[in-house]
Chains A and B, each alone.
Chain A
Amino acid sequence: MLVFHEQPRDKVRVFVDFNGPKVTPKAFEWAGKRYDIHSVNLVYQHRHGKGYDWYFAVSDLANTYVLSYSPETLEWVLEEVQGQ
């Protein structure tokens, strides 16, 4: 049963793995706490003006998160949190 679904839209600090042309988020810090990413489930894009922001649907062992990355501003944002 869905427990909660939030859209915090907070800027977060993300630790990423650069592997050739691929960038894989490994963990992020939100509200002073570190969240280790267990799996990157889906990568997709949202159009924003002329460019596209990258969205990463990720999960740890308890929750799912959506992180967005803007190639223009170089900012990571925590878009969604879903708790199960």
Chain B
Amino acid sequence: MQRVVLHLDMNSYFASVEQQANPFLRGKPVAVLATMTSQGCTLASSKEAKAFGVKTGVRAEEARRLCPSIRFVEVDPPKYRSTTKRIFSILTQYSESIEPYSIDEAFLDLTGLAPSLEAGAQLGYEIKQRIKDEVGEWLTCSMGVASTRWLAKFGGDTTSKGGLVILHRGNLTAYLKGRDLQEAWGIAGATAAHLNKLGIRTLDELQVTSPVNLMASLGIRGYELWANVNAVELGGLAQPRQPKSIGHSHVLRVRNRDPRFHKALLMRLCERAGRRLRDLGLEAQGVYAHVSLEPGGGLGLPAMPRGKAWQAGGSKKVYHPIHTTRQLFKQVWAMLGDGLHRGTPTFYALGMFRLRPVSGQLSLLEKRKPAALARAIDRINNRYGEETIVEGELMRLDGSFAPDRIGFRKTTGVDVAPEAEAF
């Protein structure tokens, strides 16, 4: 049976969703910013903005310099998640074998439904049209159709915006010819440099290199590279699995040396991470916390002369598993507390690792009450909204600090709405 994998990649996704929501932004350069400040980072730019060189990661002031007429929009994660859900719900009507790869990318295994790659492409065109009809006419996507997951994504990544490409053994060599190694998914600077040393500079050269020679130099990774460009399937679509770590980070947009503010902020980040941990029914046996500090006086201290910025924090394993927000906060505060007095915090990152399902193991030293309290608080917040009940440190912290943010990878599963097609 012909294996058919389709890869879908939404074009300029966040910016396109904003243009879909506001038709007066269509056809104009638009940048979606993480924060509406001059230092705000561009998370996505429309194709019109890209023509001016405004790419992901460019700061707002630089974007304005590149394109004076650019329009800025602040990121709105629930809008994108909800739109993604509607798009993915269309995909699930074609196959139950779907791998959401990121908020704007997915793989779909059409084997059995489509007897050939061409038939798979026809379904791809149908899906494109349904996205336009049922979600929004301004939303376009690129697609790759191939017999392997890697080739489907490679096709989707390299075809024109809004295009669809079919890759099969017959056209593969011609498609790879002359393409730089780093155009391929999974080949970055170090691997490309290694391959260059072997005299391999393009993907078609990689395709005809002996896998034995590649393995002699790169080990199993060498075989994977060869297999990818020779249409050999290695793994298929990835199945949902338990995360290896759960964490949150935040760049502070204000410089503040009030210890109460920072305790509250860390508590909010801990609550976010703790909620996700408990939602997944997990506990953690490892914790990490980092803070970037700007010279100029620590928390509660007068301003100091400026000097070199530095970082504090670390990671450690814990004997008693972490399950509640309070347990996480206690560990994080212990790890960062001293460092916070040596500078002004500008960035926090915290999280947990060594995750495992809640064991229910009773502890001789720890009381059971905190876990029951955490569950009760979660139930209330589930019912009435986030932060209806908060830990004391979090009281009166404005909601604009450490707001909801969105990542580019593997964010599906967060804040997924229940099935509801009423509107």
Residues of A within 8 A of B (CB): 2, 21-23, 39, 41-50, 52, 54-57, 59, 64, 66, 82, 84
Interface residues of B in 21-45 (CB under 8 A from A): 21-24
Interface residues of B in 400-423 (CB under 8 A from A): 415, 417-418, 420-423
Q: How long is the Cα–Cα vector from A39 to B388 in the complex, in angstroms?
A: 35
Interface residues of B in 50-97 (CB under 8 A from A): 71, 78-79, 82-83, 86
Does B382 belong to the interface (CB within 8 Å)? yes
| A46 engages B20 (CB within 8 Å) | no
Q: Nearest CB to that of B137 among chain A residues? A: A41
| B422 engages A23 (CB within 8 Å) | yes
Among B382, B383, B417, the residue within 8 A (CB) of A45 is B417
Kindly list the 6 A-B residue pairs having the minimum CB-CB distance in the complex, ordered from nearest.
A44-B82, A57-B21, A49-B385, A42-B21, A45-B82, A84-B24
Contacts of A64 in B (CB 8 A): 21-24
Does B17 belong to the interface (CB within 8 Å)? yes
A3 CB to nearest chain B CB (Å): 10
Q: Show 18 residue pairs from A and B whose CB-CB distance is below 8 angstroms, ordered by the A residue.
A: A2-B71, A21-B422, A22-B423, A23-B423, A41-B21, A41-B23, A42-B20, A44-B78, A45-B82, A46-B82, A49-B386, A49-B388, A50-B383, A55-B82, A57-B20, A59-B23, A64-B21, A64-B22
Q: How long is the Cα–Cα vector from A49 to B415 in the complex, in angstroms?
A: 11
| B423 engages A54 (CB within 8 Å) | yes
Q: How long is the Cα–Cα vector from A59 to B154 in the complex, in angstroms?
A: 38
Tell me the dominant secondary structure on chain A's binding face: strand
Does B136 belong to the interface (CB within 8 Å)? yes
Q: How long is the Cα–Cα vector from A3 to B278 in the complex, in angstroms?
A: 45
| A47 engages B78 (CB within 8 Å) | yes
Range of interface residues on B (Cβ < 8 Å): 20 to 34
Does B381 belong to the interface (CB within 8 Å)? yes
Contacts of B418 in A (CB 8 A): 52
A46-B78 contact, Cβ under 8 Å, with A41-B136, A52-B417, A52-B420: yes
| B421 engages A41 (CB within 8 Å) | no
B259 CB to nearest chain A CB (Å): 31
| A41 engages B382 (CB within 8 Å) | no
Does B384 belong to the interface (CB within 8 Å)? yes
Contacts of B381 in A (CB 8 A): 49
Contacts of A55 in B (CB 8 A): 79, 82
Contact string, B2-31, partner A, CB cutoff 8 A, digits 1/0? 000000000000000100111110000000
Q: How long is the Cα–Cα vector from A54 to B78 in the complex, in angstroms?
A: 11
Known: A21-B421, A45-B417. 5 other contacts (CB 8 A): A41-B136, A47-B417, A57-B20, A59-B23, A59-B24
